[in-house]
Chains A and B, each alone.
Chain A
Amino acid sequence: AQSVTQPDIHITVSEGASLELRCNYSYGATPYLFWYVQSPGQGLQLLLKYFSGDTLVQGIKGFEAEFKRSQSSFNLRKPSVHWSDAAEYFCAVGAGPTGKLIFGQGTTLQVKP
């Protein structure tokens, strides 16, 4: 069965520090992978997606993610975190023909000044 695991429930980084959020997936075929961000009290916004091709994908707000098939991972990175990046981040895999997404549990990012 398809699944997504985000091992880190909560991460705290200092402003200006680098960030990596982990995501591991289980899916039988080539996955469609997504990262979404949710600011407090808001809906989810797409950060970036991977469908095929270059395994390093760029997204909005300076985020990037790398697809590693051998590790079944799609980790999200940002070289320098800003206080406005504090939010909850969700990794998701597109599952089959229904278009539904399977989400990970989410990682809450706190940014220290």
Chain B
Amino acid sequence: IAGITQAPTSQILAAGRRMTLRCTQDMRHNAMYWYRQDLGLGLRLIHYSNTAGTTGKGEVPDGYSVSRANTDDFPLTLASAVPSQTSVYFCASSVGSSGANVLTFGAGSRLTVL
């Protein structure tokens, strides 16, 4: 089934540890995104990539890094996790990179930082 796969589904992490959330899509979409979802705040964009080899910062990029070595994969890394990074993380993709593009979302990764 075509779509976005995120891993892990859920993770508990000690503060200060490094963590990589994985995201893979099989739709050959050019653009990919990472959002975090927090109660009362909706979804906020962390980082995005309009095409393989390029990345950009979103609304809340601090403490996160991404890479886009190929079309399919867009991992999100927390170099040194802090409790404020406890959240549900969603990876998304779209065919193109304009405001008119429809995003396809993964099922999310729930991260708890203690």
Pick out which of these stretches binds chain B: A14-22, A62-70, A78-86, A89-97.
Answer: A89-97
Interface size on A, residues (CB 8 A): 30
Given A105-B42, A106-B42: A99 and B107 interface contact (C-beta under 8 Å): no
Chain A residues contacting B94 (CB-CB under 8 Å) are: 99
Given A43-B108, A51-B100, A105-B40: A100 and B90 interface contact (C-beta under 8 Å): no
Size class of the B contact interface (CB-based, 8 Å): 20 to 34
Chain A positions near chain B (C-beta within 8 angstroms): 4, 6, 9, 31-32, 34, 36, 41-46, 49, 51, 90, 93-106
Can you list 30 A-B pairs with a CB-CB distance of less than 8 A? A4-B42, A6-B42, A9-B40, A31-B99, A32-B99, A41-B107, A42-B107, A43-B107, A44-B92, A44-B105, A45-B105, A46-B102, A46-B103, A90-B42, A90-B43, A93-B99, A94-B98, A96-B99, A97-B98, A97-B99, A98-B48, A98-B56, A99-B31, A99-B33, A99-B94, A99-B98, A99-B101, A100-B45, A100-B48, A101-B43
